[in-house]
Structure 1
Amino acid sequence: MKVGLIGFGKTGKAVASVILQNKKFSLSWVMKRSQTLENRTAAEYLGIDSEETGKIYSTASTSITELLDNQPVDVIIDFSSNSGIYAYGEAASERKIKIISAISHYTNKEKDYLKSLSNLTTVFWSPNITLGVNYLLFASKFLKKIAPWVDIEIIEEHFKGKDGISGTAIKIAEALDLEKEDINSVRAGGIVGKHEVVFGFPFQTVRLVHESISREAFGSGVIFVAENLVDKKEGLFNFEDILSPYFAV
């Protein structure tokens, strides 16, 4: 499967590393905003021995339409910013290229735009694309369904510089019919990401915890999602759509 990666920050680099080391996937190119590293390759920059080099391009020098026409891909993976979708969305959907977005925060405007793109191609969006945290979300919903009266608190921990409440924590809160005020945020050091859901029963406590040990976890999640989207047609999908069949008895 040929992949184009949008965004090459800390997480984007980790995702590129995972893709480059997976024999089933080919990192065709990387697109980033600045011209730093332009014309170098992701494999060389990351020190990975791979036949698929993942040449780095800048939006300042190369248009996305030019890139997609000259180096077509099967899927675009987005780890850029909430506005990045506008730069490539239309061009990708017109060419039937699948879109996997892992942007934490989207406004209703971006969500509506994703929906419109899904009329032409397969679109997937998850504010946290790790498999583990989405399993935690599933398990939390099941426990809440069993005991709808239980007390619930959400704790999210991330690195010191992360702005705003975790998009994943907000998604967990929404799934459990909780408010943002029920989310407790911790910002300290270089914590990659930790989410904990505490269920307070009268005589017992259940804690569901997911912790990202390294950003490569996002790369593994991307691989899992891409493999499960192979046979999907046009439409907007999320992790629940992908995981539900695995829970069928």
Structure 2
Amino acid sequence: MSETTRLLIHGASGRMGQALLRLCADRTDCAVVAAITNRSPVQRVVDGVPFFAAKELSGAPAFDVAIDFSLPEGFAPILALCVARGAALVSGTTGLDEVQRAALEAAAQRIPVLWASNFSLGVAVLTELVERAAAALPGWDCDVVEAHHTQKKDAPSGTALTLGAAATANGAKVSYASLRAGDIVGEHTVQFTGLGERVELVHRAGNRDIFARGALHAAARLAGRPPGVYRVRDLLD
């Protein structure tokens, strides 16, 4: 592996893909060597980054890590390419079915993989705090409250479900509440309530760049790791 992690951005024309390209340009620990878009690119090279259509994926140059924020139908090809080339995969693509998740687990026998519903480093720390609180406060009520912009369709959010699963795995019985209002980027509160006292663990996202920064942070640290399934929190240091 080279000192600078070579990245392939899969889903480069989307909101996250554009943020990854923009933010990676300011980093010294990684560089984008290929950007993959669903449709044929209007320009083949933009700011020094070569662009490829999804159907040209096999022709992409060598890379250390693929960062995938695309659609479920594009997941199998990028996973297969990573396995074939021995490259790591970081994915935030939502809507994966059971077959695709099983394929990801199988791929982890050969390459390092990371799938997450949220790449915020703060949310990674929040998840760990939720686990500790749930284990330390047996019998307390646990509520996960999330708020997002009006265009978000799924409720509870994927992050809320991840936080709830962390609490459930440590003995809590979780209830969910969702709010859709204005242009809220994302707010998550995990509340533990006992007799006469309450603990609130809160994360608020001020902009969407935090998710791209987290994905770049994870990718730079996942490259060269042994095969296996990783979490964002495993790569915080």
TM range (shorter): 0.7 to 0.9
User: Displacement, 1:32?
Assistant: 1.4
Aligned equivalent of 1:191, options 184, 190, 212: 184
Query: If the length of structure 1 is used for normalisation, what is the TM-score?
Result: 0.84
Is the counterpart of residue 5 in structure 1 residue 14 in structure 2?
no
Q: Give, in whole Å, the separation in 2 of the partners of 1:131 and 1:152.
A: 23
Aligned equivalent of 1:100, options 90, 94, 110: 90
User: Displacement, 1:57?
Assistant: 2.4
Change (3 A) 1:230 1:56: closer
Q: Is the 8 A contact 2:70 2:93 kept in 1?
A: yes
Change (3 A) 1:156 1:38: farther
Runs of 4+ aligned structure 1 residues displaced above 6 Å come to none
In structure 2, runs of 5+ residues without a counterpart are none
Query: If the length of structure 2 is used for normalisation, what is the TM-score?
Result: 0.88
Give the share of equivalent positions with the same residue, in percent.
23
| Structure 1 partner of 2:201 | 208
Q: Give, in whole Å, the separation in 2 of the partners of 1:193 and 1:104.
A: 16
| Structure 1 partner of 2:223 | 230
Equivalences, count: 228
Q: Is the 8 A contact 1:15 1:215 kept in 2?
A: no
Query: Residue 154 of structure 2 aligns to a residue in which SS?
Result: coil
What pairs up with 1:1-249 in 2 under 5 angstroms?
1-7=5-11, 8-35=13-40, 37-41=42-46, 43=47, 53-59=48-54, 62-67=55-60, 71-165=61-155, 166-177=157-168, 182-242=175-235
Q: Give, in whole Å, the separation in 2 of the partners of 1:120 and 1:38.
A: 35
Q: Give, in whole Å, the separation in 1 of the partners of 2:148 and 2:73.
A: 22
Q: Is the 8 A contact 2:142 2:173 kept in 1?
A: no
Amino acid at match of 2:211: F
Change (3 A) 1:227 1:39: closer
Q: Is the 8 A contact 1:104 1:168 kept in 2?
A: no
In structure 1, runs of 5+ residues without a counterpart are 44-52
Compute the RMSD of aligned alpha carbons: 2.0
- Relative to its length, the structure with more strand (as a share) is 2
Query: Residue 16 of structure 2 aligns to a residue in which SS?
Result: helix
Query: Residue 176 of structure 1 aligns to a residue in which SS?
Result: helix
